[in-house]
Structure 1
Amino acid sequence: MGPTSSLFGGVLARGAVAAAVADDAWLTAMLQVEAALAEAQAFTGLLDQAAADAIGAACARPESFDAAELGRAAAESGNPVVPLVQALRRAVPDHAEAVHRGATSQDILDTAGMLVAARALRPLLGDLRACADLTARLAREHRDTAMIGRTLLQQAVPTTFGLKAAGWLGGLDAARRRLDQVRAERLAVQFGGAAGTLAPFGDAGPDLVEGLATVLGLREPALPWHTERTRIADLAGALGSAAGAVAKVARDLTLLAQNEVDEVSDSSPGGSSAMPHKRNPIAAVCALGCAASAPGLVANLLAAMAHEHERAAGSWHAEWRPLRDLLVSTGSAAAWLRSALERLVVHPDVMRANLSRSGLTGDLTATGLLVDRALHDFGTKR
């Protein structure tokens, strides 16, 4: 049962990323690639414009194709592109030979995956930006709010809540910028034909790839990347780092919200089926739960990088589920953390009382300067 199932969807599929990677989103993306391929071939003189127009019109109606049926039929060929191409050819009988011309299934599915990822990253990046803004506000507002610092989960020396929030900000903003860089630079068209040679197109092959990239708004790769999977690895690594940055903040929030600490709380706490007195920091808890899936999914994608020769036997297929689940898990974690920070109630009086009870003192002049530096750095890099 995946994270997008209806029973667990309210917790494990928070935010807009789950919808962006759902079956209908993949179907739409695959059709857009087929339409763009026909358009690019017509532009380069490789295909009649009437054929490209007919294919484009059919691809513009994803509701005409049954994603569930395509999924069932995919078992016959090992991927959903083969039955999709068959259905698309039936939809344009006068131009059936022009559909999917010169392409291989992996060209379509990999490129569709890049489109899906690019679209899913928009709400994810939006939530990360919002989280960074919220932690920046906390750092600014609590620049001088003294509290006890903790190392190895034990009281250490005095610090400020502003400095703690500035640390959260640094991690979140770095993760956001890395993910934004991957989105801008590493999400590329995949097109090479049967063995990555562009053989059916001769000298026009490179121009066709350029046109396809232009139509779809993706990067143009120097070479087909059927079995060179560092683009997937870069995306996975950036998503994993983002999940880790989110988890760091969520972990601190759950610890600070413990009854024995009580330095922060959730303004809309979750309840308990057995203990009515509980006031759980549920948004932070769910952020942690979603983020916890990311490392294993990243590992799955890295383990699948060893593709054989020009086309892989199984390693390509092994990427599909963990990539979609990783986008959902990281996106859900970021959405939950945004909720946690929006609902966060800070208790400076409790922080001061806990610090006073520790009996520890220290000069906090430098902490304010560190917060100022972090906020300045954040402002210049936005």
Structure 2
Amino acid sequence: MVPGLDGLFSQVFSRGGAAAEVTDAAWLAAMLDVEAALACAQAGLGIVPEAAAEAVGAACDPELFDLAEIGRLAARTANPVVPLVAALREQVPAGLRRYVHHGATSQDVNDTAMMLLARRALTQILGDLRAAADACAGLAGRHRDTVMAGRTLLQQAVPVTFGLKAAGWLTALHRSHARLTALRLPVQYGGAAGTLSVLGERGHEVPPRLAAELELAAPVVPWHTDRTPVAELACALGVTAGALGKIATDVKLLAQTEVGEVAEPSAPGRGGSSAMPHKRNPVGAVSALACVQRVPGLVASVLDGMLAEHERAAGSWQAEWETVGELLRLTGSAASWLREVLEGLTVDAGRMRANLELTLGLPMAENVVARLGGTPQARELVDAACARAAAERRPLKEVLLAGSGLGLSEQELDSVLDPARALGSAGAFVDRALERSREDR
């Protein structure tokens, strides 16, 4: 069990690999990685002695630091970097201590550590998104022509295919994956007010070297109060969470007892109820939604923090630390839950067809109007037939044959009322989504 991930709700909200990358211990390790990389970058430029970089690198071992004590002392300065740097200097030989954190300000370390955490957590999230997308591709291919009721405003509309629904999930996941992959996560190194004056005229040489050391992006200028990189990260996570939430919503609705068109993976005890032994709750979709529904407020908090004052924000920047960690953790957890759901999803094609037939052919009314030329007169006749069929609970075909004046034979009606003959470009859309998926791979 990862420390910090063994709480009462952790297995719901901290599922997947991303959660371990944003714990307090992970933050500490990332801050130390930044300090070590900074010393190394400066040594490579001849700004600090090579011995200093070696000493700092050796001292940046998380096991040498008391996380709880650093957290306690952070309250004095509203910043954990201050006590961390003090503790780090104690681990370095006295003659080299002045090179620790050289030219940096606390925000440089916090911001760069946050970008480092994000990169590490995103690696985990992207893996789950890719696996979930692969599962959607499999569903789309297997059910390319599986007819089901399309539903608009929660009512049956016209026929669609489950393959098309899965293809929609697939493309949304691919867009989210691409958006997260394209993020530029930059290092931060600007010193007290963005000028790096302590380094004379050589400060601008350090960020590219620091970025190379940490495998992050090099910024054009310090971005202490330009919070665009953090906002872009938050928004991309918010959109990804929304895409995951849409899939979870579809699954929970399709899994309702009265619908029963899909079912989540089963296992002993999974989906059980404390009161009702017969229940098989869609716990994966429910858990993903519980994560997703917490995300929009966190994104809003980050966006609000863009209103930073002058060269260093007072409060809004600090508010990002746990917020961004929560965004990564919750989005990662939702991705992990949905991956499991989609990889084990059971699809009941027979139930889909049976549910479509519950409406006695009424979803095919649009197809009948189109067959008759789409004229206002045709629409009026079909509307009247639909109203009668609904009121009398009779099949639309029976009503249409009973003298509606449409002039269609029984054979023609069988053809026009067949849902499999009214799917338009559904198959082509599925094929297109699968081809794009293969290209993206």
1:365 deviation in Å?
4.5
Q: How does 1:1-382 map to 2 (within 5 A)?
A: 6-59=7-60, 61-94=61-94, 95-182=96-183, 186-268=184-266, 269-358=270-359, 359=361, 360-361=363-364, 362=419, 363-382=422-441
- What secondary structure does 2:47 align onto? coil
- What secondary structure does 1:209 align onto? helix
Counterpart residue type for residue 434 of structure 2: L
Alpha-carbon distance in 2 for matches of 1:287, 1:32? 32
1:192 deviation in Å?
0.5
CA contact (8 A) 2:264 2:345 kept: yes
1:357 deviation in Å?
2.3
Alpha-carbon distance in 1 for matches of 2:150, 2:46? 68
Alpha-carbon distance in 2 for matches of 1:365, 1:234? 38
Alpha-carbon distance in 2 for matches of 1:331, 1:276? 31
Alpha-carbon distance in 1 for matches of 2:313, 2:139? 49
1:232 deviation in Å?
0.4
Alpha-carbon distance in 1 for matches of 2:234, 2:78? 23
CA contact (8 A) 1:44 1:204 kept: no
1:126 deviation in Å?
0.4
1:194 deviation in Å?
0.2
Alpha-carbon distance in 2 for matches of 1:210, 1:160? 51
Q: Please give the per-residue CA displacement for 1:235-286, whole angstroms capped at 9, x wherever unaligned.
A: 0000000000000000000000000000001232410001111110111111
- What secondary structure does 1:193 align onto? coil
CA contact (8 A) 2:36 2:53 kept: yes
Structure 2 unmatched ranges of 5 or more = 365-418
1:203 deviation in Å?
2.5
Counterpart residue type for residue 333 of structure 2: S
- What secondary structure does 2:200 align onto? helix
- What secondary structure does 1:155 align onto? strand
- What secondary structure does 1:317 align onto? coil
- What secondary structure does 2:145 align onto? coil
1:93 deviation in Å?
3.3
1:132 deviation in Å?
0.7
1:206 deviation in Å?
1.7
1:28 deviation in Å?
0.8
Counterpart residue type for residue 378 of structure 1: S
Alpha-carbon distance in 1 for matches of 2:206, 2:264? 54
Counterpart residue type for residue 26 of structure 1: W
Alpha-carbon distance in 1 for matches of 2:281, 2:9? 19
Counterpart residue type for residue 237 of structure 2: L
Counterpart residue type for residue 287 of structure 1: A
CA contact (8 A) 1:102 1:200 kept: yes
Alpha-carbon distance in 2 for matches of 1:108, 1:348? 55
CA contact (8 A) 2:187 2:217 kept: yes
Q: TM-score, normalised to structure 2's length?
A: 0.84
CA contact (8 A) 1:4 1:12 kept: no
- What secondary structure does 1:352 align onto? helix
Distance 1:236 1:224, change over 3 A: same
Structure 1 unmatched ranges of 5 or more = none
Alpha-carbon distance in 2 for matches of 1:215, 1:201? 19
Moved over 3 A (4+): none
- What secondary structure does 2:187 align onto? coil
1:68 deviation in Å?
1.3
1:202 deviation in Å?
2.3
CA contact (8 A) 2:30 2:117 kept: yes
Q: TM-score, normalised to structure 1's length?
A: 0.96
Q: Please give the per-residue CA displacement for 1:121-143, whole angstroms capped at 9, x wherever unaligned.
A: 01100000111111111000000
**Structure number, greater radius of gyration:** 2
Identity %: 59
- What secondary structure does 1:270 align onto? coil
Distance 1:5 1:77, change over 3 A: farther
Counterpart residue type for residue 209 of structure 1: P
Counterpart residue type for residue 302 of structure 2: L
